[in-house]
Amino acid sequence: MHVGALQISAVNLQEVEQKVLDVAVNIICDEKGKDYLIIGNNPSSEILVLNADSADGSEFLNTANDNQVKIVFSSSTLSGKNLVTIPTPVRVIALKNVLAKISEQLYTYINSRKISHLHSTKKITPPSSISKIENIFQEILQNKSENKCCVISSSGLPDIYIDGINNRFIIETHIDDIEKYIAVDFNTIEAKEINYEQLNKISQNMSVAALNGILWRCALACSNGKLLAGHSANTPVKLTSWPNFSRQGFKPDYFKLAAIMAKQYISLNELSEQTQIPLEDIIDFYNATFAVDIIETQTTLSSKQKPVPIKNNKQQSILKKLAQRLGIN
């Protein structure tokens, strides 16, 4: 029996390929349950599906997390860690069979880790413990960091449920209603911890989304230039994978920040000095990337190491293409 839902991110797919993926996932969910697989925009999803036959697709593949399972549509046979190639044109039955096999293996691995965790007596300190919660972003991040489940409510708003164990966001109405919680006075919001069995019983037939997608939106909307507790603008950090810029709250400057942070360790203060982007905007972006688990910290970077300036024409060309795809001039 599976727990939670496996997340799938689709990148650079042609329209027909996206439809093939949707049909394949629907077939599997009809057999296994509607929350078996979810297609979303989670950059840290367990499964990444992409077309690698274009320059953009190839670039995304090169920056993907090594631990992600990558299903690659390509006219060539590619190889790599956790990578499966499906020749184009892609057929529904071929993709369905690959997805079903991979999902089964991932669930077996995840469940074995959960059992191991339950039998462990070692107490693990959450990586981001927030001493005083001041907004809905920090509330959700705290539950994720501590692997807790909770129900969040406010008068006149639909209840929302946070599954910090499986990184799921669940709501009675529509996913976009999270914006109502972003806008409301946080003092009117109440959060109550519940156990996993209660969550599953209460949240049946509700809308489900990847928690990281919600965290990204909330981080950019709620941070207001204030760094998360326990973090420092002087600590060198680096992106471990490319952010998903299709989410709400996007700013063109985030492309520049991502390009630098993906190449090297650099502090937020150094980023501001090098790019002339306001530190407040950089902090909002950093909080969002940390919340979705694509930040790596280096605490002992040599003082002699200098930030690498942006001078790569190929890199600028990639950024321009990505901006054009999002309709940004």
69 plus 161 within the same structural domain: no
**272 and 310 belong to one structural domain:** yes
Q: How far is 255 from 285, CA to CA, in rounded Å? A: 10
- Contact between residue 203 and residue 168 where contact means Cβ atoms under 8 Å apart: no
131 falls within a domain = no
Answer yes or no: is 123 within a domain. no
pLDDT tens digit string along 95-119? 999 898 888 888 777 666 544 444 4
Which of 118, 145, 162 marks a domain boundary? 118
Same domain assignment for residues 256 and 196: no
Q: Within a domain: residue 301?
A: yes
Structure token pair of residue 80: 């790599």
Q: Phi and psi of 102, rounded to 5°?
A: -65, -45
Reported residue count of the chain is 329
Predicted pLDDT of residue 289: 92
Radius of gyration of the chain (CA): 20
Q: What is the pLDDT of residue 316?
A: 52
The set of residues, in sequence order, having a beta carbon less than 8 Å from that of 228 and lying 6+ positions away, is 128, 130, 138, 141, 287, 290
What integer pLDDT is reported at residue 43 of this predicted model? 57
Asked if residue 289 and residue 196 are part of one domain, the reply reads no
**Domain carrying residue 202:** 136-222
Q: Tell me, yes or no, whether 38 and 73 share the same domain.
A: yes
Cα separation, 133 vs 314, whole angstroms: 42
Looking at residue 121, its pLDDT comes to 35
Q: pTM for this structure?
A: 0.56
Choose among 263, 259, 315: nearest CA to 55: 315
Spatial CA neighbour of 218 closest among 149, 144, 270, 325: 144
Per-residue pLDDT at 108: 78
Residue 250 is encoded by which pair of tokens?
């996007």
Is 128 domain-assigned?
no
Question: Which positions of the chain have pLDDT values less than 70?
Answer: 1-4, 41-44, 110-131, 245-249, 299-329
Domain end among 193, 222, 251: 222
Last residue of a domain, one of 90, 118, 146: 118
- Which residue(s) pair with 209 in the sheet? 169
pLDDT of residue 201: 86
Same domain flag for 106 and 13: yes
63 with 156, same domain: the answer is no
Contacts of 24 by beta carbon, 8 Å cutoff, 6+ apart = 92, 95, 96, 99
On whether both 190 and 257 belong to a single domain, the answer is no
Q: What is the number of structural domains in the chain?
A: 3
The answer as to whether 227 is a domain residue is no
